[in-house]
Chains A and B, each alone.
Chain A
Amino acid sequence: MATFELYRRSTIGMCLTETLDEMVSSGTLSPELAIQVLVQFDKSMTDALENQVKSKVNIKGHLHTYRFCDNVWTFILTDASFKNEETTEQVGKVKIVACDSKLLGQ
């Protein structure tokens, strides 16, 4: 199954990457195994988002920049608002990076 490396840049992904990096640097872990762990993280994170998360979000904002490159959309919004069931978050500037969901089915 194909996976995205996209989520490695999230908080949880960065924490994992830092951890692995420390362990590889100290010699506790081999780089090959560290890569395996990251690949497994890609799968687990995608699964969890698909199966455990049910919330819905509305995004509004001014589109400052858009880009579509290698099947990845990148949007930069200014004055954006994110509204879900519980709260509304306002941010001055936000970047959205989105991979093509159809590629996961392959």
Chain B
Amino acid sequence: MQTYLYSLLNSPSFSSASAPPQPPPLLRRSLSSPPAAETLAAGAADAAAVMASSNVSTVYISVIDDVISKVREDFITYGVGDAVLNELQALWEMKMLHCGAISGNIDRTKAAAPSAGGTTGTTPPVHDLNVPYEATSEEYATPTADMLFPPTPLQTPIQTPLPGTDTGMYNIPTGPSDYAPSPISDIRNGMAINGADPKAGRPSPYMPPPSPWMSQRPLGVDVNVAYVEGREDPDRGVQPQPLTQDFLMMSSGKRKRDEYPGQLPSGSFVPQQDGSADQIVEFVVSKENANQLWSSIINKLETPTKTITPVIPQCDGIQDDYNDQFFFQGVPTEDYNTPGESAEYRAPTPAVGTPKPRNDAGDDDDDDDEPPLNEDDDDDDELDDLEQGEDEPNTQHLVLAQFDKVTRTKNRWKCTLKDGIMHLNGRDVLFNKATGEFDF
């Protein structure tokens, strides 16, 4: 407890990007681990008390502890030290404190109990036999190179043991260099096993064969809605986990023809993120695509809270090339307003204020770049207004839950939800069950 508070006090220093690696958290971890194992029996009794109170902050802290304790093995398997894991926990908690999701004085005694209990329930504190046991000795070791030097960028799963500096994992007393590969290959095996192991979060039975369309580059082709959706249909049956995307950010059902080809750099690849089958990539994480996958996860999650579309493309039928002046070449343009203003970007012969509506219509038919006028003025105007009304993260009220049943009679809707997180009026509220009655 004391050590934890100490690390909290120090936590602001973490904000300066790569502060010297953190001895206090590691000390805390190494000090607290053995007692945690001893108080496992007491944990079960305390868990009941926590359930009764079900404070949001308490639940969040227990989730943090649970995640951290359960990914520890993965971190060790990947050869990433405890310091990194502690940095992750400290940063995560700091952010939670900042946005007020957890209270300032974290009552760790309560939170530690259920997390310890949960840990014993699913993952026994026995070490994975596939992993060389030396790996865990890191936990109790005196400061290692891992702590004394900042982690190297883009750490490879297996750290190359530097002779003389590494006192933890690869300290083999006999020291002939041909001895060293043995633990490394063990780790490799461990990784391979973990990779195929459902416990590691990769339910391989659900993995459909990589769809050919995923690697295709849809750009440049006029995306035909029916065609694409038809292709996705076979995947739907296999898809066990629905996507949790911001469905309002995309058009409902009907895809608008607003993929303006001119706005994307040629050859750029837009990943398919339409909520149907994008998730399958989750389980084919490999070293090559992990980076790409990660950035797609980040983009997917961050777009709802951030203000996207800094530029709204001007598409009113007049000078639709306004946003990218260099895309437009050669065709004489009509210019209703100020003849001299933009003419120099355009036609070699400036059009001097002579409207040419005929010409414009003809162009429209020829190059299919331009969406027809008013094509989509009926579908989600109202929704757009509603969506864009207040898009700040703090004011966006959101409920994330699972549904048991949704029914409707006439315009009366009833639904039963469970296991929800609500963010209302800037505050988080959790529920186990919820019933909703709405009139449409």
**1/0 contact string of B286-329 vs chain A (CB within 8 Å):** 11001101100110011011000000000000000000000000
> In the bound complex, do residue A8 and residue B244 qualify as a contact, i.e. CB atoms below 8 Å apart?
yes
> In the bound complex, do residue B402 and residue A101 qualify as a contact, i.e. CB atoms below 8 Å apart?
yes
> Known: A31-B291, A35-B294, A69-B247. Is A60-B438 also a contact (CB below 8 A)?
yes
CB neighbours of B390 from chain A (8 A): 93
CB neighbours of A50 from chain B (8 A): 419, 432
Which positions 1-16 of chain A face chain B at CB distance < 8 Å? 1-16
Taking the complex as formed, is B23 at the interface, i.e. its CB lies under 8 A from any CB of chain A? no
> In the bound complex, do residue B241 and residue A44 qualify as a contact, i.e. CB atoms below 8 Å apart?
no
Which positions 63-99 of chain B face chain A at CB distance < 8 Å? 63-64, 66-67, 70-71, 74-75, 78, 80, 84, 87-88, 91-92, 95-96, 99
CB neighbours of A46 from chain B (8 A): 419
> Known: A57-B429, A63-B439, A97-B401. Is A17-B70 also a contact (CB below 8 A)?
no
User: How close is A105's CB to chain B, nearest CB, in angstroms?
Assistant: 10
Taking the complex as formed, is B263 at the interface, i.e. its CB lies under 8 A from any CB of chain A? no
> Known: A9-B398, A10-B421, A52-B114. Is A4-B429 also a contact (CB below 8 A)?
no
A44 to B52, CA, bound (A): 19
> In the bound complex, do residue B242 and residue A70 qualify as a contact, i.e. CB atoms below 8 Å apart?
yes
Which positions 67-106 of chain A face chain B at CB distance < 8 Å? 67-77, 82, 84, 89, 91, 93-101, 103-104, 106
CB neighbours of B425 from chain A (8 A): 89, 91
> In the bound complex, do residue A91 and residue B155 qualify as a contact, i.e. CB atoms below 8 Å apart?
no
> Known: A3-B241, A52-B114. Is A99-B402 also a contact (CB below 8 A)?
yes
CB neighbours of B151 from chain A (8 A): 27-28
> Known: A20-B88, A95-B248. Is A70-B70 also a contact (CB below 8 A)?
no
Taking the complex as formed, is B376 at the interface, i.e. its CB lies under 8 A from any CB of chain A? no
CB neighbours of B271 from chain A (8 A): none
> In the bound complex, do residue A21 and residue B60 qualify as a contact, i.e. CB atoms below 8 Å apart?
no
Residue of A nearest to B408 (CB): A66
> In the bound complex, do residue B422 and residue A32 qualify as a contact, i.e. CB atoms below 8 Å apart?
no
CB neighbours of B141 from chain A (8 A): none
CB neighbours of B437 from chain A (8 A): 58-60
CB neighbours of A69 from chain B (8 A): 247, 252, 275
> In the bound complex, do residue B417 and residue A98 qualify as a contact, i.e. CB atoms below 8 Å apart?
yes
CB neighbours of B403 from chain A (8 A): 73, 98-101
> In the bound complex, do residue B247 and residue A28 qualify as a contact, i.e. CB atoms below 8 Å apart?
no
> In the bound complex, do residue A52 and residue B54 qualify as a contact, i.e. CB atoms below 8 Å apart?
yes
Which positions 397-440 of chain B face chain A at CB distance < 8 Å? 397-404, 406, 413, 415, 417-425, 427-440
Partner of B62, one of A15, A31, A48, A99: A48
For the complex with contacts A94-B424, A95-B398, 6 further pairs of A-B residues with Cβ separation under 8 Å are A15-B95, A30-B290, A44-B63, A59-B435, A62-B438, A74-B248
B contact set with A: CB distance below 8 Å: 17-18, 50-52, 54, 58-60, 62-64, 66-67, 70-71, 74-75, 78, 80, 84, 87-88, 91-92, 95-96, 99, 101, 114, 118, 151-155, 157, 198, 200-201, 203, 206, 236, 239-244, 247-248, 252, 275-276, 279, 282, 285-287, 290-291, 293-294, 297-298, 301-302, 304-305, 383, 386, 389-390, 396-404, 406, 413, 415, 417-425, 427-440
Across the A-B interface, the 3 shortest Cβ-Cβ residue pairs:
A27-B153, A39-B201, A31-B294
